[in-house]
Amino acid sequence: MKTRYRNVTVGPDRHGKLRARFRKTGAPASYMKTLPDQPGFDAEYRALVDGASKASAASPGVIPRSVSDLLNRFYASADFRGAGSDESRKRRRGILESIRAEFGNDLVANFTFEHIEAILLARCEKRKTDKGRTVGGMVAAMNLREELDRLFRYAKRIKWRTDNPVEEAAPVGKAKIGSFYSWTEADIQRYKDHHPLGTNARLALEILLWTGQRRGDATRFGRKHIVRGKINFEARKNGADLWLPVAPDLRRAIEAMPTVGIDTFLVTHYGKPFTKDGFGNRMREWCDAAGLPQCTAHGLRKAIARRSAETEATQQGIKAVGGWKGDEEVRTYVAGIEQERLADLTLGRVIERFSERNPAELANRADPNLPNPDKNG
């Protein structure tokens, strides 16, 4: 059934559910999330019309049904445009564009699971770019697999393929939070000794260490986020609205700076806020300068979880600090600390009761009320 909206028809899908469908020459057909006159339909319709126009404009010179053709259509689709924040879409697009650079002219239909496995294995290898930036690695490969899976699912949906080769590709491994090195107290002190108060490097450490946030959020902190003596901000990744106390060490680091940015505390040599990747690269340089090649910005997020666990913080308490919404991620962060604490407690009691002791040890016992296996036979 035609509607008053151009390129939109309404009818039952294969399950019998009434749905609106958008079709426009030069763009893939797609079902819409809403029906005409429902809240949100107009915004979704405008996005699809705009996306279809951009896809059509970008298509000249592109090999039909190639990877480049698929990417243009995917970016214009509701599958891509309707998922996540602008920041998330920018990150995902950057990952996929690296595939266009290598395989843009290859036909989508020719990819097999062996091709996907080879691409992912190549991405697992860390390497230096011409600018000295480290790229690749296990986490990069896992992120790429996730985006390729979405892309080829879309190809299957628009009938360019009958299968998804990513589903058949062997996994490259599970990206574990635990694989990130957690800063020790000795690491933290060594970094502080090398980077004194009044430097960007030191301020970066104190922000990451005393807020426990991701580097993309840490670069956004500024005076506007200090409300009623606390830090208030919305985490970009999951939208969590967080209120955090300003630790004295963090306050001292801010006050020690000769200058800070107008919008953000941390700024580049040019007085501009850091980008997330730019900040990650600078943190890498600051850690290397302090003789800490194993340390990363993300490792400080893990360190505050460790500190919280060591002070007997509850699961909910740790989630409140880091802005985590799921219990599983927090458990991964603090698993080592919890294991060590419980092992000390449990095995310590076993040792106290069952281990053999020589007479000198027995004479020097700190607590005479504890059971003495030698005395009691």
pLDDT in tens, 107-125: 999 999 888 988 988 888 8
Higher pLDDT, 139 or 54: 139
Which range (218-227, 229-238, 248-257) has the least confidence? 229-238
169-185: pLDDT as tens digits: 877 754 444 456 788 89
Please say if the pLDDT value at position 17 is more than 50: yes
3-state percent breakdown (helix, strand, coil) of the chain, nearest 5? 55, 10, 35
Instruction: List the 8-12 sheet strands across, edge first.
Output: 8-12, 18-24, 27-31
Band (pLDDT 50/70/90 cuts) for residue 67 is: very high
Rounded to whole angstroms, how far apart are CA atoms 356 and 336? 29
Q: Are 54 and 26 in contact (CB under 8 A)?
A: no
Instruction: Give the distance from CA 126 to its chain's centroid.
Output: 18
- Does residue 359 or residue 167 have the better pLDDT? 167
Closest CA to 314 of 327, 303, 301: 327
Q: Cα–Cα distance between 85 and 236 in angstroms, integer?
A: 8
Judge whether 196 lies within some domain: yes
The DSSP code sequence of 230-274 is EEEEE-TTT--EEEEE--HHHHHHHHT-S---SS-S-B-TTS-BP
Tens of pLDDT, residue by residue over 315-332, are 677 767 666 656 665 666
Within a domain: 366: no
Whether pLDDT at 23 is above 50: yes
Last residue of a domain, one of 334, 349, 367: 334
Beta-carbon count within 10 A of 240 CB = 17
Least Cα distance to 155 among 84, 49, 66, 280 occurs for 66
First and final C-alpha spacing in the chain: 91
Same domain, 196 and 318: yes
pLDDT digits (tens, 9 = 90+) for 260-277: 888 888 888 888 888 877
- The pLDDT tens digits of the residues spanning 211-229 come to 888 888 888 888 888 888 8
State the pLDDT at residue 338: 53
**Which among 163, 142, 143 is positioned nearest to 152, based on CA atoms?**
163
Residues 107 and 208 in one domain: no
Q: Among 79-88, 149-158, 188-197, 201-210, which is the least confidently predicted range?
A: 79-88
Question: Does residue 231 belong to any structural domain of this protein?
Answer: yes
pLDDT of residue 244: 82
Give me the domain span that covers residue 28.
Answer: 1-58
Q: What integer is the mean pLDDT of 49-65? A: 65
- pLDDT value at position 90? 87
* 164 and 77 inside one domain: yes
Residue-wise DSSP of 273-332: BPPHHHHHHHHHHHHHHTT-TT--HHHHHHHHHHHHHHTT--HHHHHHHHT---HHHHHH
Can you tell me whether residue 150 is helix, strand or coil? helix
Q: Which residue has the higher pLDDT, 280 or 15?
A: 280
Confidence tier at 158 by pLDDT (50, 70, 90): very high
Looking at the DSSP assignment, which residues form a beta bridge with residue 30? 22
What average pLDDT does the segment 144-171 reach?
91
Asked which of 77-86, 219-228, 234-243, 315-324 is least confident by mean pLDDT, the reply is: 315-324
pLDDT at 376 over 50: no
Pure H helices in 22-85: 41-58, 67-76, 78-81
Flag whether 353 is in a domain: no
Percentage with pLDDT > 90 across the chain: 20
* Statement to judge: residues 72 and 155 lie in one domain: yes
Q: CB count, 10 Å around CB of 308?
A: 23
- Confidence class of residue 281 from pLDDT cuts 50, 70 and 90? confident
189 shares its domain with 329: yes
Query: In a 3-state reduction of DSSP, which class is residue 18?
Result: strand
CATH number at residue 113: 1.10.150.130
Residues 104 and 32 in one domain: no
Do 194 and 317 lie in one domain? The reply is yes
Task: Report CA-CA distances (Å) from 342 to 312, 327, 331, 337, 345.
Answer: 12, 19, 14, 9, 5
> CA 222 to CA 161: how far, in whole Å?
49
The count of domains in the chain is 3
Average pLDDT, the chain: 79
Same domain, 197 and 320: yes
Instruction: Tell the burial category of 138 from Cβ atoms under 10 Å away from its Cβ (0-12, 13-18, 19+).
Output: middle
Amino acid, res. 279: F
